[in-house]
């Protein structure tokens, strides 16, 4: 069953980590020439299919349904958009670097924040993905937090620049913005926002919190009275507010994952404040 339906954007959960998403390009780009120009830019991306004017692709979201007394504080981490290779491997932040090493989110950021047993850098990539996925879903880790993982923009892109394949202009969430164009991106973000807010409402209870690692996620989820995004404020741990329409749920803005040491420090600062 579809979890959300509208004329422009649809999505459904197809596995414990996987989402199937569909964008109606005829509605997002009602002018034919704009739509064809988008399709030409789309050739720079992998991991999708076109069915007439329907863009169909896989994305990721991991929201554990299990509950227990130890992991009593739900926290949802909201990132910018997924990396294509992580979706292919079936797990967030599957690897980093040419040699497929452990990603900084697992190796540096969470341990800095006090969550130390979700890093498996000595295991092969597929094995550590399976182990970490199972531990997150089964709450098999030492923490008082029940961790969920989400992306603000569901469309995937390359995780980093790849000049050899001429994808340098289409990496990360800024690459997705370039692909769609500013106006279409902002229109799509309205529907993505509804998807993320639905996940928050389902998963995060009062006393829990939402943590964003990217500017669009902070701006899209914050209450109107909360401050706008700035990287300086994120670095100093000054982005704190409430989720739009859910004043009982705290919202925090963190430095991006590329600033792993600082992101871990700020995350620990905020985690220590919630759930007591």
Give the containing element (helix H, strand E) for 215: helix 215-221
Residue 55: is its pLDDT beyond 60?
yes
Distance from C-alpha of 27 to C-alpha of 200, rounded to nearest angstrom: 27
Contact 91, 124 (CB under 8 A): no
Higher pLDDT, 166 or 31: 31
**CATH code for the domain defined by 73-271:** 3.40.470.10
Domain boundaries, the chain: 9-60, 73-271
pLDDT of residue 163: 44
Q: What is the mean pLDDT of the chain?
A: 92
Q: How far apart are CA 44 and CA 158, in angstroms?
A: 10
Mean pLDDT of 233-248: 96
pLDDT tier at 160, thresholds 50, 70, 90: low
Query: Assign residue 15 a region: left if phi > 0, alpha if psi is -120 to 50, beta otherwise?
Result: beta
pLDDT tens-digit readout, 202-228: 999 999 999 999 999 999 999 999 999
pTM: 0.93
CA distance 266 to 184: 33
Higher-pLDDT residue of 2, 87? 87
- The stretch 123-133 carries a mean pLDDT of 96
């Amino acid at each position: 069953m579809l979890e959300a339906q509208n004329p422009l954007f649809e999505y459904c959960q197809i596995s414990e980590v996987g989402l199937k998403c569909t964008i109606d390009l005829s509605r997002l780009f009602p002018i034919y020439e704009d739509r064809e120009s988008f399709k030409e830019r789309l050739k720079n991306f992998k991991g999708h299919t076109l069915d007439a004017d329907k863009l169909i692709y896989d994305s990721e979201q991991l929201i554990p349904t299990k509950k227990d007394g130890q992991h009593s504080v739900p926290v949802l981490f909201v990132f910018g958009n997924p990396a294509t290779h992580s979706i292919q491997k079936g797990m967030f932040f599957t690897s980093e670097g040419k040699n497929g090493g452990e990603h900084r989110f697992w190796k540096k950021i969470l341990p800095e924040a006090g969550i130390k047993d979700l890093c498996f850098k000595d295991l092969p990539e597929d094995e550590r993905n399976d182990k970490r996925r199972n531990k997150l879903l089964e709450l098999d880790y030492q923490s008082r937090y029940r961790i969920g993982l989400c992306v603000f923009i569901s469309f995937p892109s390359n995780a980093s620049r790849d000049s050899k394949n001429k994808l340098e202009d289409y990496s990360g969430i800024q690459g997705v913005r370039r692909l769609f164009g500013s106006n279409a991106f902002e229109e799509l973000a309205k529907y993505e926002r509804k998807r993320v807010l639905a996940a928050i409402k389902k998963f995060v209870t009062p006393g829990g919190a939402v943590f964003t690692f990217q500017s669009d996620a902070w701006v899209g989820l914050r209450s109107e009275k909360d401050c706008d995004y700035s990287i300086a404020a994120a670095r100093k741990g000054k982005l704190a507010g409430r989720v739009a329409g859910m004043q009982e749920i705290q919202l925090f803005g963190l430095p991006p994952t590329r600033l792993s040491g600082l992101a871990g420090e700020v995350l620990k600062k905020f985690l220590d404040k919630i759930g007591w």
